[in-house]
Chain A
Amino acid sequence: MNATDADVGGDASTDTRTGVGTEPSPRRPLVEPSVDDHVAPSRRVDTNTDTDTDVEGERAGVGEGVADRADDGTPAPTTHTFKILVTGPFAAGKTSLIRSVSQTEVVSTDVVTSGEESDVKAHTTVAMDFGTYQLDEDGVSLLLFGTPGQPRFRFMTNILKGDVDIVAFVIDAEARQTHAAAGVELRSLLSELRVPAVIAVNRCDDQDMADRMARSLGALAGEAVVPCQLIDSESGREVIVEILLTLLDSMEKGPAD
């Protein structure tokens, strides 16, 4: 290989990175009926922007950009934006979850793995994944921030965890060697953030088994546990539904002390 400009500064023609803005997730309707059905009208958030004082609507850069009035003059729905931290051990399925549900092109920072990690999987997230999920009729927007899983990238979790509304903690049911450390991380994170959590137990179809696994990690009785197969987008949406329900419950209960 000659030393050329292509050697320093990347070479798109031979770039083996994947997911660096090149893997658009499938476009889906903004409102999934199966999800919408789970959001009971009584749990819906305020739809009048004129009187909206919700903190979520005041978050700079999010929760904005919607018209005050629709074309027919009726109040447009308020957009309530929630920040979801998708975290968990290496190779648990965090990127798969975001890719399976995001309605916008996923921003990902996947690179090829090296060393022992390449025996586990071919690519890994080195900075973050970002995807979105919206329920237009309910004016709810989820921003999904995925972290790398390896401890050496912990600084990225520390950056991304600011101002999160809920943690989606993903574990691989079959990678039991990761569970002990994952449990420590889960409890540490939640005790610091004091936000609700949903535990997604990937590669698991059995609710009882998922519950036992999550409890063994230290998940509390009130924390939702979802068995899932995150290579399947339908399964990913079940996790999203649980996130929405948990968020709505949390809003009804008010902030934790």
Chain B
Amino acid sequence: MTEVIVGARGALLASVDGFALAQSETMPNEAAHAAMLAAAIGLAHQLVLMGNGTQLRQLVVDHDNGLLLLWPIGTARVLAMVTDSNVDQTRLRRFVRSRASLLAGTS
């Protein structure tokens, strides 16, 4: 994924209850990261309700060194990508969507 999408620096796939399942070599091996992703997605699901939404599609953390993009993958997993600020988000999302069943472990 990081080789295909320009500006994508790393990816981490975690379970919704906070365990790391897979990650790119460029991501730091920090156990708490998977837990933080799970917590963030868990809260984001609630924030969706604040906006009268029903379904979380994406969570974006925009910071001074780029972006952290999070997507729920099915109902049991979370994918996070660390990217540059100028990454093509449309292409990235399309790429992730095309591999969703693989990432969800259902294919």
Contacts and interface: CB of A to CB of B under 8 A. Distances in A.
A14 B106 CA distance: 14
B96 interface: yes
Interface in B30-48: 31-32, 34-36, 38-43, 45-46
A11 B42 contact: no
Contacts of A128: 43
A114 B19 CA distance: 8
A16 B16 CA distance: 11
A256 interface: no
A7 B100 contact: yes
Contacts of B19: 114-115
Contact of A112 (B34, B40, B76, B106): B76
Interface in A14-34: 14-17, 20-21
B17 interface: yes
A144 B41 CA distance: 21
A8 B57 contact: yes
Contacts of A148: 39
A2 interface: yes
Contacts of B97: 3-5, 7-8
A107 to B, nearest CB: 6
B46 A21 contact: yes
A126 B96 contact: no
Contact of A109 (B35, B46, B57): B46
Nearest to B21: A114
Most buried by B among A9, A17, A115, A156: A9
A1 B107 contact: yes
B104 to A, nearest CB: 6
Contacts of B101: 1-3, 7
Interface in A105-141: 107, 109, 111-115, 117, 124-128
Contacts of A124: 17
A65 interface: no
A150 interface: yes
Given A126-B39, A127-B43, A128-B43, A111 B96 contact: no
A253 interface: no
Nearest to A107: B46
A4 B39 CA distance: 25
B18 interface: yes
A127 B107 contact: no
Given A109-B42, A109-B45, A126-B39, A7 B17 contact: no
B72 to A, nearest CB: 5
B106 A17 contact: no
B90 interface: no
Nearest to A117: B17
A70 interface: no
8 contacts: A3-B99, A7-B97, A11-B55, A11-B75, A126-B35, A127-B40, A128-B43, A155-B32
Interface of B: 15-19, 31-32, 34-36, 38-43, 45-46, 49, 54-58, 71-76, 93, 96-101, 104, 106-107
